C-alpha cells in the first residue's frame, strides 16, 4: 500500500538545518532559472538557437527539482516519510523522464555549438526555428514511453518484505532492493535504458566537442579561440557534472552500490548540480550578464 522514505532520519539532529538549506537551494533554483527564462524571452539579442535551448533547459531544471525537493522538504518538516505506492511510482517516472530529457537536451546543445563553430556559414540554415522546435520536442518526449514502460515493469514486481526505502526519493536502485524474487531482467532493462539515454548521448557530445576543439585550434586569432572556448566551456562543465553522477548511479554494478554513497551521489545530481547550472551559465556568459544588467537598469530607473 505504501513505502517509507528514510531520507535523512539517520542524522536527526540536523533535520531543521537540512530543511533550511534545501528550502534556500530550491528557491534559488526556481529564481535563477526563472530569471534566465525571462531574460531570454524579453532580450532581442538573445533570440538565437543557443539561448532557445538554454531557456528550455532552465525550465526542465525547474521541473526536475520540483519532483524531488518539495517532497523532501515535507518529509523533513513532518518527520514522516510515508509515500503511497502510486505516488512513489509517479515520482520515479517523472525523475527518470526529466533526467532522460536533460541528457537529450544537453546533446542537442552540443550539436548546436558544433554547427555554430564548425559550420558557421550554414548555421542559420541548419539551425532554423523549425529544426530547433523539432529538436526540443524530441528531447522532451522521446524518453516518455520508455520511462513509463520501465516504471510499470519495476512496480509490477512483488514487494513482500520491508517497505522502507533508504533514500530521500523513489529512485530505481533502492526500490529494486525491496523487490522479492529475481530482479535480473529489470536490472538488465535499467542498464539498457541507461546506455541509450546516458552513454549514447554522452558519446555524441564527446564526438561533437572533439570536432569543436579541433576547429577552434585551427583558428588563427587568439581572441577568436578564446571566444569560441568561452561559449562551450559552460556547457562542457554541466555535461561532465551531470553525466558523471548519472553514470555512477545507473551503470555501476549492483554489489558495489552502498546506500549511503548512493544517497550522496543522488544529492549531487538532484540538488547540487541544478543549483550550479544557472550560476555556471550566467557567470560564464557575457551575453546573459549584459542582458541581466540591462534588465536591472530598467527595473531600478
What is the overall mean pLDDT for the chain? 88
Nearest to 115 by CA among 106, 107, 123: 123
DSSP result, 44-78: GGG-SHHHHHHHHHHHHHHHHHHHHHHHHHHHHHH
Q: State the pLDDT confidence band at 115, using cuts at 50, 70 and 90.
A: very high
- Tell me how many domains the chain contains: 1
Res 112 pLDDT > 60: yes
DSSP β-bridge partners for residue 259 = none
| Residue 256, pLDDT score | 54
Domain that holds residue 29: 2-300
Q: Is the pLDDT of residue 255 over 50?
A: no
Span 61-65, average pLDDT: 95
Q: What is the CATH number of the domain that holds 282?
A: 1.20.1070.10
pLDDT at 254 exceeding the cut of 70: no
DSSP letters spanning 22-35: HHHHHHHHHHHHHH
| 272/97 Cα distance (integer angstroms) | 19
Q: Is the pLDDT of residue 300 over 50?
A: yes
Decide if pLDDT at 246 tops 90: no
More confident residue, 199 or 236: 199
Check residues 136 and 283 and name the one with the higher pLDDT: 136
Cα–Cα distance measured from residue 125 to residue 127, given in angstroms and rounded to the nearest whole number? 6
Which pLDDT band, with edges at 50, 70 and 90, does 218 fall under? confident
Handedness of CA 40, 42, 48, 49 (dihedral sign): positive
Q: Looking at residue 144, what is its pLDDT?
A: 95
Lowest mean pLDDT among 12-26, 55-69, 139-153, 238-252: 238-252
Residue 66 is predicted with a pLDDT of 96
Most confident listed range (114-118, 236-240, 292-296)? 114-118
* In the predicted structure, residue 147 carries a pLDDT above the cut 70: yes
- Range picked from 41-45, 87-91, 256-260 for highest mean pLDDT: 87-91
* pLDDT tens sequence across 7-54: 887 787 888 999 999 999 999 999 999 999 999 999 888 899 999 999
Computed on alpha carbons and rounded to an integer, the radius of gyration of the chain in Å comes to 21
Mark out the alpha helices in 79-180 (DSSP H runs): 85-118, 123-126, 129-141, 143-155, 172-178
Report which listed range, 7-16, 68-77, 180-189, 287-296, is most confident: 68-77
pLDDT above 90: percentage of residues in the chain: 51
What integer pLDDT is reported at residue 129 of this predicted model? Answer: 94
Amino acid at each position: 500500500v505504501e513505502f517509507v522514505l528514510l531520507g535523512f532520519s539517520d542524522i536527526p539532529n540536523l533535520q531543521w538545518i537540512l530543511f533550511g538549506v534545501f528550502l534556500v537551494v530550491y528557491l534559488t533554483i526556481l529564481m535563477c532559472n526563472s530569471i534566465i527564462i525571462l531574460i531570454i524571452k524579453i532580450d532581442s539579442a538573445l533570440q538565437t538557437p543557443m539561448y532557445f535551448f538554454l531557456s528550455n533547459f532552465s525550465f526542465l531544471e525547474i521541473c526536475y527539482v520540483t519532483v524531488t525537493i518539495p517532497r523532501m522538504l515535507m518529509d523533513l518538516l513532518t518527520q514522516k516519510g510515508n509515500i503511497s505506492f502510486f505516488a512513489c511510482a509517479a515520482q520515479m517516472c517523472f525523475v527518470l523522464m526529466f533526467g532522460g530529457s536533460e541528457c537529450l537536451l544537453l546533446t542537442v546543445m552540443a550539436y548546436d555549438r558544433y554547427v555554430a563553430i564548425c559550420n558557421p556559414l550554414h548555421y542559420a540554415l541548419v539551425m532554423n526555428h523549425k529544426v530547433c522546435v523539432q529538436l526540443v520536442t524530441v528531447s522532451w518526449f522521446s524518453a516518455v514511453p520508455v520511462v513509463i514502460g520501465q516504471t510499470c515493469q519495476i512496480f509490477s514486481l512483488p514487494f513482500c518484505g520491508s517497505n522502507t526505502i533508504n533514500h530521500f526519493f523513489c529512485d530505481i536502485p533502492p526500490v529494486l532492493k525491496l523487490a522479492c524474487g529475481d530482479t535480473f531482467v529489470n536490472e538488465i532493462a535499467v542498464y539498457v535504458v541507461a546506455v541509450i539515454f546516458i552513454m549514447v548521448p554522452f558519446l555524441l557530445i564527446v564526438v561533437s566537442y572533439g570536432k569543436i576543439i579541433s576547429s577552434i585550434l585551427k583558428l588563427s586569432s587568439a581572441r577568436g579561440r578564446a571566444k569560441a572556448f568561452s561559449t562551450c566551456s559552460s556547457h562542457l562543465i554541466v555535461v561532465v557534472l551531470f553525466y558523471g553522477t548519472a553514470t555512477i548511479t545507473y551503470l555501476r554494478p549492483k554489489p558495489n552500490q552502498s546506500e549511503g554513497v548512493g544517497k550522496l551521489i543522488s544529492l549531487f545530481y538532484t540538488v547540487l548540480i541544478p543549483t550550479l547550472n544557472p550560476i555556471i551559465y550566467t557567470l560564464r556568459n557575457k551575453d546573459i550578464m549584459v542582458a541581466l544588467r540591462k534588465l536591472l537598469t530598467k527595473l531600478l530607473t
